[in-house]
Amino acid sequence: MMLPSLVTLLSVGSMATAAPTTMNARDAVSRRLLIGGPSQILAVDFNGTSFEVVGKNVTSGAAPSWMRLKSSTKTLYAVDENTSNLNQFKLDDTKLSYTSSVTGSAGVVFLEFNKDQTRMVGAAYGSGMIDVWDVSADTPKILKQVKVEGALGPNQKIHHPHQALLDPTGRFMIIPDLGGDQILVLDTKDDKYEITKTVSLFAGAGPRHGGFITSGNNTFYTLACELSNKVILFQVDYTGDELAFKEISTQSTYGAEFPPANATSAAAGTVAIANNKDVYISNRLSGNATDSISHFVFDAKTTSLNFAHTASSHGILPRDISLSIDKDQSLLFVANQGGDNGLVALHRCPVTGRLDATPVAAKSLAELVAPGMEKEANAGPQFVQEI
């Protein structure tokens, strides 16, 4: 399975559109994607060979770098990384209509639902806070704002919660804190949303985004660290109300053979996991002609994470990568903030997990930059998700 939290985005309707009819079965599929980037949110249709923008909201100065769609109400929640606003839209077919905004902590970069989508947690990178929302009614109500505490990493001025990912049991959210070189465990039980555990990482780790793997009765967590460009594999053990993280391995997000041309600028991005086995990590600002996506394979027999290959992102600064929502997760979508291609679809072999070097489709960055942002550097897409 993919990241468990994304399962909540699956809609039966969009799965049903995957009806292969031609020789090129894998390409003859109509998909809808949500794209976020500086000053805009886009709804994009993908027909297997090209991307077409079908709906949009353009708001100068907004930074909707992360979104979640509540399937039951078609409510789209979007962060604005540059303010304290949580913005709400309705997504009705291709029509994206703004409905309202509420105020939480500043600089939220990630949203996550609880299991039944009545609560939503925001990771406020910009202000070192964690917001807990009641999203059971039309207007979100803030339930709790938790200040992240603890020692800071080298050269860090504040804590930077970067993600909040619901674990496979649906009880805990795991929050990497880039500023504090730690992982926080937020316990959602009985609506408490308390940090019940912190796990310290090595100094300068700079953890950013993680993902879960389940194998038999075992749970694993892979964590991509932006500041150190390391990927850490943990085994997660559950005992009663506790969970323990046991480090299994720490290695470069680039693998041993393909180091970044510029190790100073390099900054690991995000993680996508297919089939509880194939782990993809985006490598940003590598200094190479284009940035890359590393593919690691989790081996359940030896409980090890092994570098398999690297693929071009066909652009620069791939802040987000995500898998298509068909059963095979046959595509990996890439959002590049810079370079030639803003949006890319790479075919993924469902058996080996290997990504094709040549994209099945790509849309130029120039076509994906909001009006007025043309002169800004890296103003391309920051978020991509099939819905």
Ligand X SMILES: *[C@@H]1O[C@H](CO)[C@@H](O)[C@H](O)[C@H]1NC(C)=O
Instruction: Report the interface residues with ligand X, using CB under 6 A.
Output: 27-28, 38-39, 47-50, 57, 59, 61-63, 82, 87, 98, 216-217, 258-259, 261-262, 264-265, 287-288, 292, 310
Compare residues 6 and 44 and give the one whose CB is closer to ligand X: 44
Compare residues 150 and 287 and give the one whose CB is closer to ligand X: 287
Question: Residue 48 CB, nearest distance to ligand X (Å)?
Answer: 5
Q: Please check whether residue 384 is in contact with residue 53, taking contact to mean a CB–CB distance below 8 angstroms.
A: no
| C-alpha to C-alpha distance for 23 and 180, rounded to whole angstroms | 52
Query: Does an H or E element contain 251, and which?
Result: strand 242-252
Compare residues 197 and 363 and give the one whose CB is closer to ligand X: 363
Question: Residue 273 CB, nearest distance to ligand X (Å)?
Answer: 19
Q: With 0-12 CB in 10 A as exposed, 13-18 as middle and 19+ as buried, what is 328?
A: middle
Question: Residue 312 CB, nearest distance to ligand X (Å)?
Answer: 7
Compare residues 6 and 42 and give the one whose CB is closer to ligand X: 42
| C-alpha to C-alpha distance for 378 and 337, rounded to whole angstroms | 5
Question: Residue 67 CB, nearest distance to ligand X (Å)?
Answer: 11
Question: Residue 324 CB, nearest distance to ligand X (Å)?
Answer: 15
Q: Please check whether residue 3 is in contact with residue 332, taking contact to mean a CB–CB distance below 8 angstroms.
A: no
Compare residues 98 and 238 and give the one whose CB is closer to ligand X: 98
Q: Please check whether residue 364 is in contact with residue 354, taking contact to mean a CB–CB distance below 8 angstroms.
A: no
| C-alpha to C-alpha distance for 281 and 273, rounded to whole angstroms | 9
| C-alpha to C-alpha distance for 241 and 237, rounded to whole angstroms | 11
Give me the DSSP letters along 45-65: EE-SS-EEEEEEEE-TT----
Looking at residue 372, its amino acid is G
Question: Residue 194 CB, nearest distance to ligand X (Å)?
Answer: 28
Compare residues 175 and 360 and give the one whose CB is closer to ligand X: 360
